[in-house]
């Protein structure tokens, strides 16, 4: 339901120019699209473009390849985009594919060719260079069991041109993708707005007796009717399920007196938002739930105070770990004496506070960027502290998406988070 191709050619032209400025002399860049991922039988999962390729072209169609060769003497050979050749039979089944002029309009590139012309073009260019940059997904937690297209493409390139030097493109694109252009910030702002609108509806309809999957269905519907989709598989977790960080089953009935944890976000024009909220299913927090909620909210608000240029995610994590320990003592989860005698290799807090509190957001919900990356204007990231007490059926996480700047600001400022406001919005008309 999300836009497959978006027409902002100036954005993609600027992105390519930034990359070209980082390349050594006479280097060639080659990036291939993602696979169509098989589901079963003759069915595929919904297609999602390689984020790096989309960042440079705006093209969301499969079987797309980009070549950048800025040192070529012929101006039209400096940038070449290859797209799938339209096939009448395929289009009868799947709908119309991009035409050359459409791909040119979207990407801002003049030289558009068909993918079946790629190898011949590549061979002509490779004799003019010895240094080739190839893309790969280097996200630290990404360990696919299958060889995805980028891996197969790299192996094929090395086999075809064994005497060339191949270099990693990912570090250069990581550097560029971290700091967002104004259009990118606007896409994520809009995604955040749509997420907030959806949350307000969820507050109105949530009640005991519903099922988790009904809430998920409402989120999906609200996103779809606004021309967007899920940025990631959402978490809709009630009661004890909220203590599982990425709970996915969504089959449990909502029970009176329990909490409902939502971790979800809209994707708008391929850019993600990420939001977490925790609400009382019956419409009112119990005293203990409110006590834990307010502790998490204090952590959330303190994290924002640390969102300043010069800090890092690791610094935020370290400070919030320390503050979370104080909150846990106040909540009676352990004592100061317990803290003094804890095993440093197995801190007491990890039983109730077991994940990091921040990550970058962009074309991917867990976007490029390390925990040691120094914050600078234009970066977008989340803060998501949480406390999880399985013995009490309490799992609370609160997450907002922020832009680093002078000052930094909250893209989800208008999404209800204060407990009094949440309770008020959940009052059902008589």
Task: Clarify whether 373 is annotated catalytic.
Answer: no
Task: Clarify whether 399 is annotated catalytic.
Answer: yes
The dihedral built from the CA positions of residue 402, 291, 212 and 282, taken in this order, carries a sign that is negative
Query: Of residues 79, 218, 222, 263, which has the active-site annotation?
Result: 263
Collect all residues with Cβ–Cβ distance below 8 Å to 169 and sequence separation of at least 6.
29, 31, 52, 133, 134, 135, 136
Residue 251 half-sphere exposure toward CB, CA atoms < 13 A: 1
Query: Of residues 189, 268, 359, 364, which has the active-site annotation?
Result: 359
Q: CA 189 → CA 176, 194, 282, distances in Å? A: 20, 9, 31
Q: Whose structure tokens read 């503050």? A: 323
Domain with CATH 3.40.350.10 in the chain: 9-177
pLDDT at 64: 97
Question: What CA–CA distance (Å, rounded) separates 266 from 232?
Answer: 8
Task: Clarify whether 274 is annotated catalytic.
Answer: yes
What does 213-265 look like in DSSP terms, one character per residue?
Answer: HHHHHHHHHHHHHTT-EESS--EEEEGGGGGSTT-----PBP-TT-EEEEEE-
Give, in words, the CATH class of 9-177: alpha beta
Strand intervals (E) in 144-219: 165-168
Burial class (CB in 10 A: 0-12, 13-18, 19+), 418: exposed
pLDDT at 4: 54
Task: Clarify whether 319 is annotated catalytic.
Answer: no
pLDDT in tens, the chain (430 residues): 345 556 688 999 999 999 999 999 999 999 999 999 889 998 999 999 999 999 999 999 999 999 999 999 999 999 999 999 999 998 999 899 999 999 999 999 999 999 999 999 999 999 999 999 999 888 877 777 777 888 899 999 999 999 999 999 999 999 999 999 999 999 999 999 999 999 999 999 999 999 999 999 999 999 999 999 999 999 999 999 999 998 999 999 999 999 999 999 999 999 999 999 999 999 999 999 999 999 999 999 998 899 999 999 999 999 999 999 999 999 999 999 999 999 989 999 999 999 999 999 999 999 999 999 999 999 999 999 999 999 999 999 999 999 999 999 999 999 999 999 999 999 988 7
pTM for the whole thing?
0.94
Whether the CB-CB separation of 255 and 239 falls below 8 Å is answered with yes
Task: Clarify whether 384 is annotated catalytic.
Answer: yes
Peptide bond into 24 cis (omega under 30): no
pLDDT at 57: 97
Q: Which two tokens stand for residue 367?
A: 């976007």
pLDDT at 2: 42
Q: Whose structure tokens read 């252009």? A: 181
At 310, is the secondary structure helix, strand, or coil? coil
The sheet with strand 259-264 has its strands ordered as: 235-238, 259-264, 275-280
Task: Clarify whether 420 is annotated catalytic.
Answer: no
Query: Of residues 274, 325, 327, 364, which has the active-site annotation?
Result: 274
CA neighbor of 310 nearest in space, from 358, 401, 372? 372
pLDDT at 349: 95
Question: What CA–CA distance (Å, rounded) separates 386 from 84?
Answer: 45
Domain with CATH 3.90.230.10 in the chain: 182-425
pLDDT at 61: 95
Q: Which residues pair with residue 409 across a beta bridge?
A: 403
In Å, how far from its chain's centre is CA 35? 19
Architecture of domain 182-425: Alpha-Beta Complex (3.90)
pLDDT at 7: 63
Task: Clarify whether 355 is annotated catalytic.
Answer: yes
In Å, how far from its chain's centre is CA 410? 17
Task: Clarify whether 359 is annotated catalytic.
Answer: yes
Task: Clarify whether 135 is annotated catalytic.
Answer: no
Collect all residues with Cβ–Cβ distance below 8 Å to 320 and sequence separation of at least 6.
299, 302, 303, 357, 385
Query: Of residues 116, 322, 355, 413, which has the active-site annotation?
Result: 355
pLDDT at 38: 87
């Amino acid at each position: 339901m999300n836009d497959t191709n978006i027409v902002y050619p100036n954005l993609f032209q600027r992105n390519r120019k930034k990359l070209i400025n980082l390349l050594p002399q006479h280097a060639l860049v080659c990036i291939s699209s993602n696979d169509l991922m098989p589901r079963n039988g003759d069915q595929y999962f919904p297609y999602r473009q390689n984020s790096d390729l989309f960042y440079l072209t705006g093209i969301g169609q499969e079987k797309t390849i980009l070549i950048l060769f800025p040192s070529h003497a012929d101006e039209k050979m400096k940038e070449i985009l290859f797209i799938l050749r339209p096939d009448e039979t395929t289009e009868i089944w799947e709908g119309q594919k991009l035409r050359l002029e459409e791909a040119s309009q979207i990407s801002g590139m003049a030289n558009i060719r068909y993918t079946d012309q790629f190898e011949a073009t590549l061979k002509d260019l490779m004799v003019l260079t010895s240094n080739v940059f190839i893309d790969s997904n280097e996200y630290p937690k990404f360990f696919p069991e299958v060889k995805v297209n980028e891996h197969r493409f790299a192996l094929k390139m090395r086999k075809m041109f064994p005497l060339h030097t191949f270099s990693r493109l990912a570090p250069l694109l990581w550097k560029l993708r971290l700091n967002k252009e104004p259009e990118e910030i606007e896409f994520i702002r809009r995604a955040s707005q749509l997420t907030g609108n959806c949350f307000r509806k969820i507050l109105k309809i949530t009640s005991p007796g519903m099922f988790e999957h009904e809430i998920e269905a409402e989120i999906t519907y609200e996103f779809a009717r606004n021309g967007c989709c899920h940025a990631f598989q959402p978490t809709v977790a009630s009661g004890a399920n909220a203590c599982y960080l990425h709970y996915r089953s969504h089959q449990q009935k909502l029970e009176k007196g329990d909490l409902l944890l939502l971790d979800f976000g809209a994707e708008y024009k391929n850019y993600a938002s990420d939001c977490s909220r925790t609400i009382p299913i019956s419409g009112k927090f119990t005293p203990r739930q409110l006590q834990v909620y307010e502790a998490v909210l204090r952590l959330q608000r303190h994290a924002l105070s640390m969102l300043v240029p010069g800090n890092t995610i690791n610094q935020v994590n370290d400070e919030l770990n320390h503050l979370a320990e104080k909150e846990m003592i106040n909540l009676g989860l352990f004592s100061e004496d317990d803290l003094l005698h804890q095993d440093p290799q197995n801190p007491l807090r990890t039983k109730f506070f077991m994940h990091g509190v921040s990550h970058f957001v962009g074309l991917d919900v867990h976007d490029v960027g390390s925990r040691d990356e120094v914050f600078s204007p234009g970066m977008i990231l989340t803060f998501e502290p949480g406390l999880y007490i399985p013995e009490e059926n309490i799992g609370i996480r609160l997450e907002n998406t922020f832009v680093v700047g002078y000052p930094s600001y909250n893209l989800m400022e208008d999404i209800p988070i204060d407990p009094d406001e949440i309770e008020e919005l959940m009052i059902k008309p008589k």
